[in-house]
Structure formats: C-alpha cells, structure tokens
Structure 1
Amino acid sequence: MTARCSFLVPGDLGTRTGGYAYDRRIVDGLRAARWQVEVQSLGPGYPAPDAAARAMARGVVEGLADDTLVVVDGLAFGVMAELAAAHAQRLRWMALVHHPLSLETGLAPGRQRELFDSERRALASARGVIVTSRATARALAAFEVDAARIAVVEPGTDPAALAQGSGPGELALLCVATVTPRKGHALLVEALAALRDRPWTLHCAGSLTMDPACAAALAGAIDAHGLKGRVLLHGERDEAGLRALYAAADVFVLPSFHEGYGMALAEALAHGLPVISTLAGAIPDTVPAAAGLLVPPGEVDALRAALQRVLEDADLRARLSEGAREARRRLPTWADSAARFAAALTAAGRAASA
C-alpha cells in the first residue's frame, strides 16, 4: 500500500527561511522514498492570518478526505486550534513544530499568552508532533504534550566545502538570518560598534522585507554607529550567493534570542567555521562547545567580549574551526532526516489504528 500524506504550509513553500527550507527538503525526501505527498498552502500572513486566509485554510481542510494523514507546519497549526479540533476525529493531524510561536521575540504579553493558549489547544488535537530539536521537545512539556507523542527529526545538512576565509587583512564575519527582532542583528551592531578599531567586515544575508520595520531600524542603527561600509546588508541570497559568502567567511555570528534548531548554524559548521552565538533554545545542542563561543541571549557586553576574543586570537579561531570540522562529520544528511520523518509518520499512523 502506498504511503501518502497531505502537507499543509502557511504562505509560499518557496519562502527563503530555515523553516520553509526544512519543509521543502522533507517533502522532497518523502517523495524520493515513494511517499505520495500533496502540498497545499493555507494562505498568507501566519501566524496572524486575516479573515481571507482563515477562510482559505478552512476550505483546504474541509476538502481533505476522511482519515487523511495531514502534516501541518506549526507556524499555521499553532493558530488553528478551533479548526484542528473540529476535524480531529476525521483527520490524522501531525503537527510540525519548528519552535513555539509564543517564544518569538518582541511579542506583547497579551499576544504571547494568546499564542501560547492557541498552540496548546491545537497540539491537543494532534495524533503526533514532530519537532526539529531536543530543546523544542523539552519546551513542549509546558504545552501539555506527552513526550510519547513527540518525535525529534533534526534538519539535515548538505555536504559543503570548507570555507577558505577572507585572506590577509580584515576578517569577514557572516550572519545568515532573516532580519527580525529574534535574530539579534541590532544587538550585534551595538556590540561591534565598540570594536570599530579592529579589522572586520560584517556580511548579513537574509530577507529585509519580512519585517520592514525591523530592517529599517537596523539600517538606522548602522548609520547611527558610523558602520556604513563595515556592516553590509545583502538581503536574500540564492544558494550560489550563500555559498560564496560562506566560502569567504572567517567567523559565523548569530546572536539569536531563540532557535528551534538553527539551520544556518549547522551550515556554518558544515563549512568548518568558528561560531559565535547564544545559549538560547536549541543552539547549545546544535553548536558543540569545541566549535563556538555561546553567550547569554540579549547580553551585549558578553557578545562584545566573545567577538573581541575571536577577532584578536588567531589560535582560538583555529581551535574553534577544528571543532567545527569535527562537528560537521556528525551532522545528519537530508536523507537521514527524511527517513526519520517518514518513520515518525508511520509510527503515528500505527498508533492511531491500534
């Protein structure tokens, strides 16, 4: 019997973020393993869909045949509590949680509580929950999700050439992340402002349009600190453009306030780059101590001190790079991840029919 599922995503599956990249690669991997996978969009605007998007989602869900195994990206599923409950008896819901919605940076307390409650109720309707890290699995205890219903399927990482670095002169720092408050770009600029006398250039690759206000504030901070020309905002880059940035980088920096896994961090390890990041979410699980310096999230002085150490100490950079090269050997492939995802779907299907 052919294995099949529907895979429901918010917005456009082609969106260039880590979460959407995960979804795309899992869909491709399932199809390569002879699963029949139907991908449908639930509409734009998640996790704050308007009435039209909610109506679109309702139409998609109502059109699914009874007993369909339905994987829903958590960016949408977390705000679909009522719809999920209404169809919980006829559909086999599988929630894919990259990280809980209420852990997004910058939420007002009321909105944070609203998202927490909505996601808790939505997850109660799921037959199983797939998360992308052990840290997220632990976090779901607060949402009353039984650990027995959770499967951890970490993202895969493509084989990558080791970074060659920038050569003599200024060190090239690289940050790959959509410009949103959670990623900590403003904190990074503030930390680097006090190190302007050191030889460095920061390259930032990631969307400047997903949160225009955040991007505008970042550009203003760069100007205010006199770092125009030292901090370069490249916007979205295609795969070839990202490979070129990784290849020419000396250090990878991502001062996130939370990560459900940190695919860009794994990508940095795959290129053998030393990492500066934070202790938030799954980052300590993704980046081993031998490969990076991890500081408390939101602490600019600690971030500045870590940057200064790496900028000034070539031996430290070499040791961290060696740690990254060791870590790259243990990174799962996308084939590994797709196989684990398929196993989680199969196990949930068996449990539902038992």
Structure 2
Amino acid sequence: MHFVLPADVGDPASPSGGNVYDLRVGAGLNLLAVAGDWPRPSDTTALSQTLASIPDGDVVLIDGLVGCGLPEVVVPHARRLKLAVLVHLPLADETGLDPTTAALLDEKERQVLRAASAVVATSPTAARDLRARHGLDTVHVVVPGTDPAPVARGTDGVSQLLCVASITPRKGHDLLVRALQRVDYEWRLVCAGPIRPFVGQLPEDDRVSFPGPLTGEALTSAYDAADLFVLASRNETYGMVVTEALARGLPVIASAVPDALGDGGLLVPPGDQNALEAALTRWFQDQEFRAELRARALARRANLSTWDRSTEDLRRVLASLRP
C-alpha cells in the first residue's frame, strides 16, 4: 500500500497537525513524497509521474492537500488504482480565499472525492460536512491519536497562556490577541508555530511572544509551563494541538474543535471575539471556573485515543479496498 503526501511533511520548519498525522499513520506504508506548492502547484509533473509509477490495482492513499485540487491528474488514475483520499481540511475552507477561487476548489475536490474508492476524514464533524458538501455516501473517520505525557506543572496557575498553531488567519491569533487586550489581568501569551506574513497584521503587544515553530524538548517545555491552552481558530477539522494539551491535563478554551475538545474544556463560537473575551475574563477572575476546567481536562486526558488505534483504523479502511 502506498501513501502520496506533501514533500515537506517531515520538515521541522513547517510543523502542522496534518504533517504529524501523515507521518504517524503512514508508518509501514510506502511513502511517496511529492514536491509542489499544494493545493495549486505550478507544475503537476511530479504528481503525474508518481501516480503513473504505481502498478494497476494497488491501494493508494493520497493526502487531499496534494490530490483534491487536481482532478485532471488524479481522476484518470482512480480508474485503475484502489484510491483512498485523506481530507485534513476541505480546500475551500481555507481562510482568505475569494468566493470564485473557493467555489473552483470545491468543485475540483468534489470530482476527486467522488472518483475515489474511499474517503477518510479526521473527525466525525468533518465526515458529516464532506458527505453533505459533496454528496458522498460514506466517509470513514480516523481520528488523530495522542502520546501519553506528564501533567503540566504550569507557572502561577493562571497567567501563562499557550497557543500552538501556524500564524495564519484561519487560526484566529488576531481575535485572541484583541480579546486578551480587553481583559484586565497581567497575562502572558506564547504563540508557538511557523511565522507567516499574517503576523504583521496582528495587534502589537509586548505580552505576546512568537518563538516560531517548537518541537521536541522546546515544545514540551512550553506545554509544561502553560496554565491555559487557547486556540481561537475560525475553522478546524479536528485540532490535534488541543488533544496534545489535554494529554498534559491543561485547561483549554478553544473554538472550532468540538471533536478534539469533547467535554474536556470550554468551546466558544468561532470568530466570536466577545465570547472569547468573556471566557478569558472568567478564567482570570473565577477560581472555581479554573478548577472546573482543570478537572475537565484531566477527565478527558484519561480517554484520549492513541496513535496505535488511529493506525489500526486506517489500515482497516485501506485493507477493505483490496480485492
């Protein structure tokens, strides 16, 4: 079985939940990394050659970021391969697209997914959306796993906030910083993640730091020092960083991550700065609320899925495509 995925999936300078997911569930598959500016590369030769090199009838999993924008390349191969498409985020849902581009990407994605033998989403909510959006009968769900981690020690129990996400409009850093600026408390926020041009559009504040992408011990230390994990995403399909925080018993206030958060924290409406401000104000002012969020996080921590389970679930889907 083969897995066609972006070439930068293992690049430490570009960490993302999708990249981590691909590497963890792709263990044991024949990984075929393809370079390109996905999902709209200027040259499709690499993808065409990669798919053409795979023998007829083989099972192929393709990352939707690579394949969903190129039906003219992928659909002909779907007729001779047992093709499964893994959708991390529908292409049209990326923040900042103009309506014409979003509609075009949505149609391209629809063609690819309808031609595939199987479609895989990373959360129940995402699967329901894909079925309704593209008229699909079945979408399989393979949720991300988590690694066991010690409970975070925190700083003073209140003021040290952590957000782990690429600095892009979809992740809502602008909403988060503006909401915090309206809160009367001596807070500090670490925004760990790849720094994109969007960072220049964020409100300036000395209490906010941008250390760039953190991995290994640096990321572990950031989680361990945090008192609260915050994520103000406008759109997510799952939100792996939320379960990473919950694995450490960290209280969470977040948006657009119902499946990852479960009942482990406070979910606020995406794009609602006032609701986010109210939640943060309550965190800083209400000791009982802080204790409640910690208790929720610890309870959710005990029931998180594992990467072994995720890998088994994906293998089951791919095995069902064999003759």
TM-score computed with the length of structure 1 as normaliser:
0.87
Work out which of the residue numbers 144, 154, 161 in structure 2 matches 1:165: 154
Which amino acid in the other structure matches residue 288 of structure 1?
G
Which amino acid in the other structure matches residue 154 of structure 2?
G
CA contact (8 A) 2:61 2:83 kept: yes
Give the Å deviation of 1:76: 1.2
Aligned partner of residue 348 in structure 1, secondary structure: coil
1:207 aligns with 2:218: no
Aligned partner of residue 301 in structure 1, secondary structure: helix
1:127 aligns with 2:117: yes
Partner of 1:183: 171
1:348 aligns with 2:321: yes
Which amino acid in the other structure matches residue 247 of structure 2?
A
Which amino acid in the other structure matches residue 323 of structure 1?
R
1:12 aligns with 2:22: no
Distance 1:60 1:252 in 2: 40
Which amino acid in the other structure matches residue 40 of structure 1?
L
Aligned partner of residue 192 in structure 1, secondary structure: helix
CA contact (8 A) 2:59 2:321 kept: no
Give the Å deviation of 1:124: 1.2
Distance 1:161 1:313 in 2: 26
Alignment of 1:52-91 (within 5 A): 54-91=44-81
Distance 2:78 2:47 in 1: 15
Partner of 2:219: 242
CA contact (8 A) 1:154 1:337 kept: yes
Partner of 1:216: 200
Work out which of the residue numbers 72, 75, 89 in structure 2 matches 1:99: 89
Distance 1:70 1:324 in 2: 37
Partner of 2:238: 261
User: What are the Cα deviations for residues 21-63 of structure 1, in whole angstroms up to 9, with x where unaligned?
Assistant: 00000122xx2xxxxx221122121012112xx1111111111
Partner of 1:34: none
Partner of 1:24: 23
TM-score computed with the length of structure 2 as normaliser:
0.96
Partner of 1:286: 260
User: What are the Cα deviations for residues 230-271 of structure 1, in whole angstroms up to 9, with x where unaligned?
Assistant: 001111011211110110100000010111111000111111
Distance 2:20 2:91 in 1: 18
Which amino acid in the other structure matches residue 191 of structure 1?
A
5+ residue gaps in structure 1?
32-36
Partner of 1:116: 106
Aligned partner of residue 87 in structure 1, secondary structure: helix
1:41 aligns with 2:33: yes
Give the Å deviation of 1:167: 2.6
Partner of 1:145: 136
Which amino acid in the other structure matches residue 200 of structure 2?
A
Instruction: Say which is worse superposed, 79-88 or 110-119, in terms of deviation.
Output: 79-88
Number of matched pairs: 319
Which amino acid in the other structure matches residue 259 of structure 1?
E
Distance 1:153 1:309 in 2: 35
5+ residue gaps in structure 2?
none
Partner of 2:305: 332
* 4+ residue segments displaced more than 6 Å: none
Partner of 2:143: 154
Distance 1:213 1:235 in 2: 12
CA contact (8 A) 1:12 1:44 kept: no
Distance 1:110 1:134 in 2: 28
Distance 1:324 1:270 in 2: 8
Distance 2:282 2:294 in 1: 14
Task: Indicate the RMSD between aligned Cα atoms, in angstroms.
Answer: 1.3
Which amino acid in the other structure matches residue 166 of structure 2?
T
Identity of aligned residues (%): 40
CA contact (8 A) 1:157 1:332 kept: yes
Which amino acid in the other structure matches residue 285 of structure 1?
D
1:316 aligns with 2:307: no
Which amino acid in the other structure matches residue 164 of structure 1?
R
1:270 aligns with 2:251: no
Which amino acid in the other structure matches residue 148 of structure 2?
P
